[in-house]
Amino acid sequence: MRKTPFANNEFYHIYNRGTDKRKIFLDNTDYHRFLLSMNLMNDKKDGLMIAWRDYKSTNPSAALDAFLKYYLRNTKSLVEIVCFSLLPNHYHFILKQVRDHGIGEFMRRIGIGYTRYFNDRHKRNGVLFQGGVKSTHIKTTSHLQYLSVYVNCNCEVHGISRSEVYRWSSFPEYIGKRKKGLCENGKKIILDDFRGGEDYKKFAKENTKHFQEKKLDEKLMLEDRS
């Protein structure tokens, strides 16, 4: 149980990894399912995932966009997703809470739903994630910008892929290589302080290189850099 409640209109770095450092994404289907959870579970009223399953069962060829256009007109988001990255054995978000208990409820739904899906699909039992989510309160604009790079470019920090071509993070959305995404509103909070995607990309590359060279560990990443 978190001792200090998440506050509305504040920003938090949220992260977790697989128990025993195990992989939580084994293939593209797993990544897609997690992204679907991020999309459909971010609403005050629970049940969109079930509604999507029912919709898909009667409309097998239906696209998610068509479903969302109809069902998400009256949604009340729990959080704004500022940026995210999904790596084989862990994930990172920066979230802004926009509704009471929003972050806790959003992450609870994702954790339960994805674990159930993962265990069923991969024929396993038990916990998938290493305890509850970890978090840090982001208190300054400079810290928010700095951590946005760490999250957006986490795949590059870990030597997995170049950030601009990595499918499972929001960085392509930030630099205009992905037209639609989960951070439509959240990314504006970051990009408004830059001259555009290319300016942010330059800032990101400089700081990603710094992360790599210094080989900073998780705790150091979370220090306020203001």
| Domains of the chain, CATH where assigned | 11-42+77-216 (3.30.70.1290)
The per-residue pLDDT of the chain, averaged, comes to 89
Query: Virtual CA dihedral for 27, 29, 32, 36, nearest 10 degrees?
Result: -140
Q: Residue 25: which pLDDT band, with cuts at 50, 70 and 90?
A: very high
Please give the pLDDT value at position 222: 47
What would the mean pLDDT of 14-21 be, rounded to a whole number?
A: 95
Angle between helices 28-40 and 48-58 (to 10 degrees): 120
9: Cβ–Cβ under 8 A, 6 or more apart, which residues? Answer: 96, 97, 98
- Between CA 93 and CA 135 the distance in angstroms is 9
The model's confidence at residue 65, banded by pLDDT at 50, 70 and 90, is confident
- The position carrying tokens 């300016």 is 199
Tell me what the mean pLDDT of segment 181-191 comes to: 93
**pLDDT over threshold 70, residue 180:** yes
pLDDT digits (tens, 9 = 90+) for 124-139: 999 999 999 999 999 9
**Alpha-carbon distances, residue 60 vs 29, 30, 31, 54, 68 (angstroms):** 17, 20, 21, 10, 15
Integer angstrom CA distances of residue 7 from 92, 95, 181 = 19, 11, 25
The rounded distance, in Å, linking the Cα atoms of 75 and 197 is 28
pLDDT band at 73 (very low <50, low <70, confident <90, very high): low
Interaxial angle between packed helices 102-121 and 28-40, expressed in degrees from 0 to 180 and rounded to the nearest 10: 150
Model confidence at 92: pLDDT above 90: yes
Write the pLDDT tens digit of every residue in 40-54: 999 887 777 777 777
Number of other residues whose CB lies within 10 A of the CB of residue 100: 13
Which contacts qualify for 117-120: CB closer than 8 Å, 24 or more apart? Answer: 117/33, 118/24, 118/30
Distances, alpha carbon 146 to alpha carbons 11, 50, 59, 224, 225, in Å: 13, 37, 43, 9, 8
Q: 86 - beta bridge partners?
A: 91
Q: Which two tokens stand for residue 131?
A: 């305890």
Lowest mean pLDDT among 74-78, 115-119, 133-137: 74-78
Q: For residue 11, what pLDDT band results from cuts at 50, 70 and 90?
A: very high
